[in-house]
Amino acid sequence: MEVTQVLHMNGGSGETSYANNSLVQQKVICLTKGMREEAISSLYRSMLPRSLAVADLGCSSGPNTFLVISEAIKSVEKLCRELNHQSPEYQIYMNDLPGNDFNNIFKSLDSFKEKLCNEIIEAGHGIGSCFFNGVPGSFYGRIFPTKSLHFVHSSYSLMWLSKVPDGVENNKGNIYMASTSSLNVLKAYYEQYQKDFSLFLKCRAEEIVEGGRMVLTFLGRRSDDRSSEECCYIWELLAMALNDMVSKGIIKEEQMDTFNIPQYTPSPSEVKFEVQKEGSFSITSLEVTVVPWNAYDNGNAFDSECGFSKSLSNGGYNVTKCMRAVAEPLLVSHFGEAIIEEVFSRYQQILTERMSKEKTEFVNVTISMIRRA
C-alpha cells in the first residue's frame, strides 16, 4: 500500500465526510489553544515580522482547516492593536497529501475570509492582507523553501506514518499494534515512527526561520507500553469486526492478515527523545490532554468557542462516523468498496456495547518548540 497515494480523509461535505465528522479533532484543537497562543504571541513580539508565514500541516478539509488559521490571525491582530503596530501581511499555507479534498477548502475560502474580517472588525481591529496557498505533498519531505516559515502547526496528523512498517507480516488477526502483537511488530512500528518523525524535524528545521515556532499535536498515549489499550483499543475493536467477517467467509483471511494501519501513537517521552536527538529545536512545553471517544459525551455537545450546540447521545454511532471519515479510504483500497457498509455496521455494534461499559478516551500529546539559532 502506497500511503501517500491512498491516505486521505473522506472528502466533500456529505454524511460520511471528514468535514461533518471531525468533532473530536476540533475539540482537541480547542484544548491546545493556549499553547498555540503563547507560541504565536511570543514569536510576534520577538520578531515583529512585516510578513508572517504560517503553515498548517495535514490540514484536511472542513471546519478544522480554518479554525487554527483564524485563531492565529486573531491573536496577532489583537497584539498589533495592543502594541500599536501596523498589521503584518499573512502568508497562509495549507498542506496535506495530494488525495486531500483541496477543492472543498478553496471553495469555502471566500466565505471564511469574509467571516474572519467581520469578526476582527467587530472586535475593533483591522486585518492585514491574507494570501492563501494550498501545498500538496508529504510532510515527510521538503515542502517549503529554506527559512520561509515563522509558525508551523499540525494537529492529529503526525501519528500517520509514511508507510506500513516493514517486518509486520506476522501481525495476523490484528490491524495495528495490539496486546497480542509480537515484540518484533511493536519494534517495527516504533522504528518507523523514529525514522519518520526525525525526517519531519530535519525538513522543518530547514524551512523554519531561527526563533520560529512549531506546535504539534499527536494522537498518543501516556503509558510506556506501546500496545497499551489507551492507544490501540479503538483499532482492536475494528479488527474484531473484520475478524467476524473473516469467520463468516465475507473477507478472506489472507486479506485480513496483510492489512495494517500506518499509524504510531507516541508517548510524551518518545516525542521528547526524537526532538532532543535531532537537535534543531528547543522544547518550551510538552502536555498531555484527553478527549472522550464520543465528542458529545454525556449527551451534551462540547460548546465552547468551538460553537457546537447539537446534542447527540448515541456514542457508538458518533464514534463510528468519526472513525469512518478517517479510515474508509484505507479500508476501501485494501478490501474493496463492497464490504464497507457491513464493516461499519458491525463496528458500531461493538463500539456501542463496549462504550456502555468502559471509559473510552483518546490521549493527545502536544509539543511546543522554538527553532534554535
Ligand X SMILES: C[S@@+](CC[C@H](N)C(=O)[O-])C[C@H]1O[C@@H](n2cnc3c(N)ncnc32)[C@H](O)[C@@H]1O
Closer by beta carbon to ligand X, 58 or else 165: 58
Residue 191, burial from CB neighbour count under 10 angstroms (0-12, 13-18, 19+): middle
58 binds ligand X (CB under 6 A): yes
Q: Give the span between the Cα atoms of 362 and 253, in whole angstroms.
A: 29
Q: Which stretch binds ligand X (CB under 6 A): 32-40, 96-104, 283-291, 329-337?
A: 96-104
By CB under 6 A, residue 366 contacts ligand X: no
In the set 93, 144, 151, 160, which binds ligand X (CB under 6 A)? 160
For ligand X, which is the closer residue by CB, 44 or 139? 139
Work out whether the CA dihedral 176, 178, 184, 190 comes out positive or negative: positive
The distance of closest approach from Cβ of residue 136 to ligand X in the complex, given in angstroms and rounded to an integer, is 8
Residue nearest to ligand X (CB): 58
Does residue 291 touch ligand X according to CB under 6 A?
no
Q: Is 29 in the site for ligand X (CB under 6 A)?
A: yes
Separation of alpha carbons 320 and 160, rounded Å: 19
175 and 248 in contact (C-beta within 8 Å)? Answer: no
For residue 231, state whether it binds ligand X (rule: CB under 6 A): no
Among 21, 32, 60, 87, which residue sits at the site for ligand X (rule: CB under 6 A)?
A: 60
Q: Which is nearer to ligand X, 61 or 181 (CB)?
A: 61
* Nearest to ligand X of 58, 266 (CB atom): 58
Task: Please give the Cα distance from 8 to 4 (Å, whole number).
Answer: 8
- Residues 330 and 7: beta-carbon distance below 8 Å: yes
> What is the length of the chain?
373
Residue type, 332: V
Nearest CA among 11, 8, 5, 38 for reference residue 284: 38
Q: Residue 320, interface with ligand X (CB under 6 A)? A: no
Q: How far is the CB of 68 from ligand X (least distance, A)?
A: 8
Q: Which stretch binds ligand X (CB under 6 A): 54-62, 106-114, 115-123, 285-293?
A: 54-62
- Select from 100, 104, 171, 267 the one that contacts ligand X (CB under 6 A): 100
Position 59 contacts ligand X (CB under 6 A): yes
Per CB under 6 A, does 22 bind ligand X?
yes
Of 103, 123, 19, 137, the residue nearest 67 (C-alpha): 19
Residue 7 binds ligand X (CB under 6 A): yes
Interatomic CA distance for residues 308 and 302, integer angstroms: 6
By the rule CB under 6 A, 138 interacts with ligand X: yes
Q: Where are the alpha helices (DSSP H) in the chain?
A: 3-6, 23-31, 33-47, 63-83, 102-122, 183-207, 229-247, 253-257, 268-278, 315-335, 340-355
Stretch that binds ligand X, among 92-100, 178-186, 240-248, 290-298 (CB under 6 A): 92-100
Cβ distance to ligand X smaller for residue 1 or 246: 1
**Is residue 32 near ligand X by the rule CB under 6 A?**
no
Sheet holding 361-371, edge to edge: 130-136, 89-96, 51-57, 149-155, 208-220, 361-371, 281-292
Residue 121 C-beta: closest distance to ligand X, Å: 27
